[in-house]
Chains A and B, each alone.
Chain A
Amino acid sequence: MRSYQLENLSQLRSHLGRRGALFEPRQAEDGGELHWLPMVDSAWPHEVEETPLLPLTSPKSFFFKEREQLFYFDGKQFVETLPDIEPQTLFGVRSCDLCAIAYLDQFFAADPYYQKRRQATLLVGIDCLHPCDGGFCRSVDAGPFVREASADLICHRQADGHWLLIASTEAGEEAVQGLELKAANEASLRQRDLRQKEVSEKFPDTSYLHAAIKRINNSDGGVAHTTWDALGLQCLTCSGCTNSCPTCSCFAIFEQTTDEGVARQRCWDSCYFEAFQREASGHNPSGEAGQRVKRYWEHKFSESYAATFGRYGCVGCGRCEKVCPGVIGVHSVTKRLATAS
């Protein structure tokens, strides 16, 4: 790991943009929402970063496509259709999303479609200096500052307005070759650690979240099925939470007739669909909406999954709360679980 001083981010961004496509959170032309969009030639638009920039759409679709073809059968043979990906950079990824990508890296470790895209991608993280609306990364060990193993390059805006650049992987180190950078001193790294403590203290109280996690793990009396059923009644099966969740990775497989023959495709699935786990006989181990709500939150907060993945399945981005029409996003649910009898 090496660290450097950096005058501004535009310099780094232009340099990385020369390696291949560079995507960053930016407002679309209508001036409204933030999206992951290709870099345009103007300067990095968020040089003076005051509000964290977290697009409502997570970056998982860069690796795990919403819909993709796996192979096709042309009448004689099966032909695999692996994506052919040029080197690309995701610039300005926040710590929560980087932790989610690290989580998906484990889930899709043996998935060639995911890995092909992932291995062609350089991840550049930016430390968040303020909590974002609904974000609670601090409470689930996913931020606010970028975890070293989760990004190739980490950018940290210092109090003096200059940037500290940390190259945390070999790929990151290689990517900044050619930039004339001065090494940063130890003091700036220590400053960063102190700053993280300061920023962490700015987050709102999430004691309800910890209480809910205890109950989900049955260490505090568990959760009554009537509570899950009441939450299930509010699930309108929109699939917004699972689509927006940066760690949700379930997919369905289907066939589609195309010009090439019969293609096997996969698409994002949602465990909130009644048919997600329905068996051919019609039997369904999660036929009730309450059972599905329970399963979803267990996947996010159960210690048994945490043991497998080294962390909770929730990275504290708060997107599920924003997209849920039925008021059963993470804050609403954990508040209910914390206080339910």
Chain B
Amino acid sequence: MSHPTTNTVVPSICPFCGVGCGMGIQVCDGKVVGVEPQLNHPVSQGKLCTKGWSTPYAVDPIDRITTPLIREGDSFRPASWDEACNTIVEAINAAQQEQGPDAVGVIACARATNEDCYAAQKFARAALHTNNIDHCARICHSPSVAGLRQTLGSGAMTNSISDIALADLLVIFGCDPTSNHTIIGGQIIAAKLAGAKLLVVDPRSTRLAQMADLHLQLRLGTNIALINGLLNIIFDNGWEAREFLDSRCENEAALRRKVEDYPPERVAEITGVPVDKLIAAAKMYSQAQRAMLTYGMGITQYISGTNNVIAISNLALVAGQIGRPGTGINPLRGQNNVQGACDMGALPNVFPGYQDVTDSALRQHFERAWKCALPAQKGLTSLGMTQATLDDSFRCMIIMGEDPVVTDPDQNHVQRALQALDMLVVIELVMTETAKLADVVLPAAAFSEKSGTFTNCERRVKHITAAISPPGEARSDWMILGELATRLGYNGMQWQSAEAVFDEMASLNPLYASMSYAKLIEKSGLQWPCDAAHPDGTPLLHSERFSRGKGRLIAVDHSEIDELPDEAYPLFLTTTRLHFHYGCGSMTRKSPLLERETPVGVLFIHPHDADRLNIRAQDPVRISSRRGTVETRAMLSDELPPGTVAMPYHFKEAPSNQLTNNAQDPVTKMPELKACAVRVEKIEVQEAMPG
């Protein structure tokens, strides 16, 4: 057998959520044999969550795709890179000749590197001549990007993670960081133990809600009513940050008028939160010295997602809880590089650095840099591409490392669309449910097998190096896209190294202007904006002025969820994430321990609802919505309010997205993943047992 011990430890970044914890990859004879936390990492300080600790399984050579694969009937055959690339290029050329450049598109990946994502959007724009480029930020924080850009001018976490220790009040709005951003969750617990106050706003009685000084257990989808109610109380009592509003914000009068429509009694009725708690929360937040607000999918995954984010922004601006250490508006980003994928312009409306594709001066700037003509119209979103496929105007899609069949709303709709494509190319580590539908599958290198940079949710860009070689013929995404671009006749993507990609990107992205690999390594990462005025980066945004100048208050109204429960579908379904799994589970479910921890699919139901439906723990249940049906097991949980059931979306065996609603936020096309109406039935044993 091989050498018994660790040969080396390569510093890297955890490949899961947006916290971006430091991780040493233990390598023995060219294999990843373990990982260890990094004590001197600025964010994680020696800690990892269970997903992080399980990383060796996530990138294990078992089940990895190691050569290009081409569909033959119902199965795949190995192919050379040459043949696979030619097949793809032929299909792209055919589709574009018949239906124009916008008949094709690219889904980039929030867990690929900045270099990969920069290459993906450049490939779409320069090689395919379309702005049809998007990624899964669409279904997590697109409303944060859109909402905060309107109010502050910059759609990212305003403060640094280390500010948690500086706050005297922590507000946790619509998220459970102890499950999904565990190291941040732990820092919140530590701050609470050290004396900070904790205010949790969540329909679920989460772990932090159980520790909180105050928990507002609002009804699903009533965020705006709640916040307008808090603002009403704040204005009514003169608790607003007068000087801050006068000097730093605009449009106060319109907001004041709007929130007059939200007196505490009305808000209590809409949200289910009693008036005394509303008053206590309004006072707590507005009167705190330093209140730091974090939020998650409980704000964004609604058809009111963008307005929810604007409401959050209104609250922080009125209370003056922004622009200082220990305060701010802090969206918790889901993927290790979802901030970076957005920064890179893997979005249909912006170039790298959020520069508008419809602005002709900016476009000309990129045309000169990339030496090609660029499309002037905004492109399609990811769900726009699937819809266009069903409308026969879209024919060829390249998906990098995402599994929309499991993770996007309304699974049947997604599957129909992907099957209708002329050509589906999936660049992946393993055979996901989406890859199984592909015409060509290309083998990708995992994070431990490539160099590049990741940008975490506090805008910190960190450099990683390859710990081992990719298995078989797997390659970094930017190399794959560069090869395809050349074959399509575009020669502007023939980079020789990840660093060359980064340098080109930094020359075009004002937020990254003064960054280089050497500097990132020397400084242990840099937070954007990093430019001539901020050569060492910017840990705190908006300290003197907002990115857009004045902070803009925007009056928004409560709106109902698209699909409310009714007689046929009497329960609310909300979707959640488990601490033990990540996304579609293609990485975490390779760990035998994480896989053991929960059944393959689960419905959480309040004991009262379960009792009424004669359901006991572990009983088989059938959940139906207007779009589909799922069978799984019930687990009783009093963390949910009665009337609301919850499912995690990790399990292909019991996909919650059979049920979810595809209704979308009009601004960002964010689907309403957090709420739809369902019916739950117990499956009788005779029926459940075969034969």
Name A326's contact: one of B33, B189, B618 (CB within 8 Å): B189
Contacts of A67 in B (CB 8 A): 33-34, 56
- Report how far A233 CA is from B49 CA in the complex, Å: 15
Instruction: List B25-63 residues whose CB lies under 8 Å from chain A.
Output: 26, 33-34, 36-40, 46-50, 52-53, 56, 62
Instruction: List B1-36 residues whose CB lies under 8 Å from chain A.
Output: 1, 3-11, 24, 26, 33-34, 36
Q: How far is the CB of B34 from chain A (nearest CB, A)?
A: 5
A252 with B596, Cβ < 8 A, contacts A21-B5, A327-B193 known: yes
B544 CB–A CB distance under 8 Å: no
- CB-based contact A37/B4 at 8 Å: no
- CB-based contact A240/B48 at 8 Å: yes
B451 CB–A CB distance under 8 Å: no
B358 CB–A CB distance under 8 Å: no
Q: Which residue of the partner chain A has the closest CB to B179?
A: A236
- Report how far A81 CA is from B11 CA in the complex, Å: 31
- Report how far A35 CA is from B34 CA in the complex, Å: 12
- CB-based contact A33/B38 at 8 Å: yes
Contacts of A324 in B (CB 8 A): 47, 186
The interface stretch among A94-102, A176-184, A266-274, A302-310 is A266-274
A88 with B4, Cβ < 8 A, contacts A238-B53, A252-B592, A267-B593 known: yes
A28 with B593, Cβ < 8 A, contacts A238-B50, A240-B48 known: no
B617 CB–A CB distance under 8 Å: yes
Contacts of B34 in A (CB 8 A): 57, 61, 66-67
Q: Which residue of the partner chain A has the closest CB to B597?
A: A275
- CB-based contact B6/A36 at 8 Å: yes
- Report how far A175 CA is from B33 CA in the complex, Å: 30
**Binary contact readout B236-257 vs A (1 if CB under 8 angstroms, 0 otherwise):** 0000000000000000000000
- CB-based contact B186/A236 at 8 Å: yes
Q: Which residue of the partner chain A has the closest CB to B592?
A: A254
Name A282's contact: one of B8, B56, B617 (CB within 8 Å): B617
- Report how far A35 CA is from B28 CA in the complex, Å: 13
Of A61, A83, A117, A238, most buried by chain B (CB within 10 Å of CB) is A238
A260 CB–B CB distance under 8 Å: no
- CB-based contact B596/A237 at 8 Å: no
- CB-based contact B189/A81 at 8 Å: no
- Report how far A16 CA is from B187 CA in the complex, Å: 44
**Binary contact readout A248-279 vs B (1 if CB under 8 angstroms, 0 otherwise):** 00001010111000000001011001110000
- CB-based contact B5/A33 at 8 Å: no
Q: How far is the CB of A326 from chain B (nearest CB, A)?
A: 5
A62 CB–B CB distance under 8 Å: yes
- Report how far A256 CA is from B580 CA in the complex, Å: 20
Please tell me the number of chain B residues within 8 Å of chain A, measured between CB atoms.
49
- CB-based contact B597/A274 at 8 Å: yes
Contacts of A323 in B (CB 8 A): 37, 46-48
Please tell me the number of chain A residues within 8 Å of chain B, measured between CB atoms.
50
Contacts of B62 in A (CB 8 A): 256-258
- Report how far A134 CA is from B97 CA in the complex, Å: 68
- Report how far A66 CA is from B53 CA in the complex, Å: 11
Q: How far is the CB of A66 from chain B (nearest CB, A)?
A: 5
- CB-based contact B47/A240 at 8 Å: yes
Contacts of A32 in B (CB 8 A): 11, 38, 40
- CB-based contact B5/A238 at 8 Å: no
B577 CB–A CB distance under 8 Å: no
Contacts of B579 in A (CB 8 A): 236-237
Instruction: List B201-241 residues whose CB lies under 8 Å from chain A.
Output: 207, 210-211
Contacts of A81 in B (CB 8 A): 1
- CB-based contact A62/B617 at 8 Å: no
A41 CB–B CB distance under 8 Å: no
Contacts of B40 in A (CB 8 A): 32-33
Q: How far is the CB of A97 from chain B (nearest CB, A)?
A: 15
Contacts of A30 in B (CB 8 A): 11
Contacts of A252 in B (CB 8 A): 592-593, 596
B151 CB–A CB distance under 8 Å: no
- CB-based contact B189/A33 at 8 Å: no
Q: Which residue of the partner chain B has the closest CB to A69?
A: B1
A38 CB–B CB distance under 8 Å: yes
Q: Which residue of the partner chain B has the closest CB to A336?
A: B193
- CB-based contact B5/A326 at 8 Å: no
Q: Which residue of the partner chain B has the closest CB to A273?
A: B597
A186 CB–B CB distance under 8 Å: no
- CB-based contact B8/A28 at 8 Å: yes
Contacts of A36 in B (CB 8 A): 5-6
Contacts of B455 in A (CB 8 A): none
Name A273's contact: one of B38, B183, B593 (CB within 8 Å): B593
- Report how far A273 CA is from B591 CA in the complex, Å: 13
A239 with B50, Cβ < 8 A, contacts A83-B4, A327-B193 known: yes
B629 CB–A CB distance under 8 Å: no
Contacts of A28 in B (CB 8 A): 8-11, 24
Q: List 21 A-B contacts (CB under 8 A).
A: A23-B5, A28-B9, A28-B10, A33-B11, A35-B6, A35-B9, A37-B6, A37-B7, A61-B5, A84-B1, A85-B4, A238-B47, A238-B52, A238-B53, A238-B182, A270-B593, A273-B596, A273-B597, A275-B598, A325-B182, A325-B187
In the complex, the 8 A-B pairs of residues with the closest C-beta atoms, listed nearest first:
A325-B186, A254-B592, A325-B47, A35-B9, A66-B34, A275-B596, A322-B46, A57-B36
Q: B residues touching A (Cβ–Cβ < 8 Å)?
A: 1, 3-11, 24, 26, 33-34, 36-40, 46-50, 52-53, 56, 62, 178, 182-183, 185-187, 189-190, 193, 207, 210-211, 579-580, 592-593, 596-598, 617-618
Query: 20 new A-B pairs (CB below 8 Å) besides A33-B11, A81-B1, A237-B579?
Result: A28-B11, A32-B11, A32-B40, A33-B9, A33-B40, A35-B26, A36-B5, A38-B5, A62-B5, A117-B4, A233-B211, A236-B50, A238-B49, A240-B48, A256-B62, A258-B62, A273-B593, A325-B47, A325-B186, A327-B189
